[in-house]
């Protein structure tokens, strides 16, 4: 069996009046992610981690931000296509560990929903999708609420 680990990171600027999508769900907040797609930093970080682990480059290579067909796309579609890419190379997901860095709003009550949506999208067990949330103690672009960041580590294997 071949085992590989991947790491992903994504950031998006936050703006008033934009929708805030994280982990495949819309969060009610006065600010949202600015991006070419729906701006879901968690899904983008997971996609990058999966693609990297399978040595398939990165999310921007497969889903460029200058492709008009991807404008406003639901990031769950990008995640499903990423799963297809790694599956076509013979890989399956072992588990995902991720962290969202966001000053506001607090996410603890919606994390179980995110886990379910992501597990369903990837067709894996909910126990294999860990999501944590943190602030940056009001430091940096996350702390000033100018942006949001997400980190993901994945384990994939090929039998």
Is 92 flagged in the annotation as binding? Answer: no
Q: Is 12 marked as a binding-site residue?
A: yes
Is the pLDDT confidence value at 68 over 90?
yes
Asked if residue 66 belongs to a known ligand binding site, the reply is yes
Please give the share of the chain, as a percent, with pLDDT higher than 90. Answer: 99
How does pLDDT run across 102-158, given as a tens digit for each residue? Answer: 999 999 999 999 999 999 999 999 999 999 999 999 999 999 999 999 999 999 999
Is 136 labelled as part of a ligand binding site? yes
Enumerate domains of the chain plus CATH numbers: 2-158 (3.30.1330.50)
Give the pLDDT confidence score for residue 159 in this predicted structure.
86
- Residue 137 labelled as part of a binding site: yes
Is 36 annotated in some ligand binding site?
A: yes
Scored b (16 or more CB within 10 A) or e, 120-155 reads: ebbebeeebbebebeeeeeeebbeebebbbbbbbbb
**Residue 33 assigned ligand-binding role:** no
Backbone φ and ψ of 55, nearest 5°:
55, 50
């Amino acid at each position: 069996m071949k085992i590989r680990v991947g790491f992903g990171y994504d950031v998006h600027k936050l703006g008033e009046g934009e929708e805030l999508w994280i982990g495949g769900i819309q969060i009610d907040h006065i600010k949202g992610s600015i991006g070419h797609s729906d701006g879901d930093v968690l899904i983008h970080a997971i996609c990058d981690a999966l693609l990297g682990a399978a040595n398939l480059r990165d999310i921007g290579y497969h889903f460029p931000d200058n492709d008009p067909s991807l404008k406003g796309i639901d990031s769950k579609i990008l995640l499903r296509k990423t799963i297809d890419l790694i599956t076509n190379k013979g890989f399956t997901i072992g588990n995902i560990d991720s962290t969202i860095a966001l000053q506001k709003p607090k996410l603890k009550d919606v994390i179980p929903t995110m886990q379910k949506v992501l597990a369903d999208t990837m067709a894996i067990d909910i126990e294999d999708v860990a999501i944590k949330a943190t602030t940056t103690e009001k430091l940096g672009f996350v702390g000033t609420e100018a942006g949001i960041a997400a980190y993901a580590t994945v384990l994939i294997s090929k039998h």
